[in-house]
Structure 1
Amino acid sequence: MKSVQDALYNWLTIEIVAAARPHDEAARDTASFFLAILENNFGVTAVKAAKDEASGRYVVEYRCGGETKTAHFPVELAEAIWRQIEAEPEKYGS
């Protein structure tokens, strides 16, 4: 991954899937993989995300270099993978 922004986006998209499908071990493992990239490659810690319905964005808050920072992602993009899985579950297992 070339940037923190890219790594945060990848983590967020699969974190949404893992939260919606708690039985999906592959989604949980993939979310952990991207979290490890954030921690090991970019020094990011304390990552958390919240959906802001009013703005139509996910707000990801994280710590990096001793500072609290935020990143914003459109709901439509952040939930695209989850919506695809929900629309065609037979392609992705249970």
Structure 2
Amino acid sequence: MNLQDTLYNWLSIKKVYEERQDDMAAKDTFEFFEEILRDDHHLENISIDKKPPMYIVSYTIEGEEQSKQFPIELIDALYESIESEPKYN
């Protein structure tokens, strides 16, 4: 999985896990994507800044600082979809 897709999935499930601390599936999925970022893509020092309309994810790869931006509305869509589904609440 490429870095862009991994970050997108990681950030989306991070939002879900932060909002649903008792959701073990969200926790496991978050940890899975975090492991991919760390082990496969070698990311360190990951930080997130929310500056509407974007989330800005900053990180270091092999000493080089980089960042990617993701629309808040797309990242939050997974959480909102889960919350609107009665069987998950």
Distance 2:37 2:29 in 1: 13
Say yes or no: does 1:57 pair with 2:54: yes
Residue of structure 2 aligned with 1:73, choices 55, 70, 73: 70
**Cα drift, residue 50 of structure 1:** 2.5
Kindly provide the amino acid, as one letter, of the partner of residue 24 in structure 1.
D
Distance 1:79 1:31 in 2: 14
What is the identity percentage for the equivalent residue pairs of Structure 1 and Structure 2?
A: 40
**Cα drift, residue 19 of structure 1:** 0.6
Query: Could you list the runs of 5+ residues in structure 1 that have no partner in the other structure?
Result: none
**Cα drift, residue 28 of structure 1:** 1.2
Q: CA RMSD in A?
A: 1.2
Kindly provide the amino acid, as one letter, of the partner of residue 31 in structure 2.
S
Equivalenced residues, count: 89
Distance 2:36 2:62 in 1: 16
Aligned to 2:40: 41
TM-score for the superposition, normalised by structure 1 = 0.87
Query: Could you list the runs of 5+ residues in structure 2 that have no partner in the other structure?
Result: none
**Cα drift, residue 33 of structure 1:** 0.4
Aligned to 1:29: 28
**Cα drift, residue 24 of structure 1:** 1.1
Matched position secondary structure for 1:7:
helix
Distance 2:61 2:34 in 1: 13
Distance of aligned partners of 1:17 and 1:64 in 2 relative to their CA distance in 1, 3 Å threshold? same
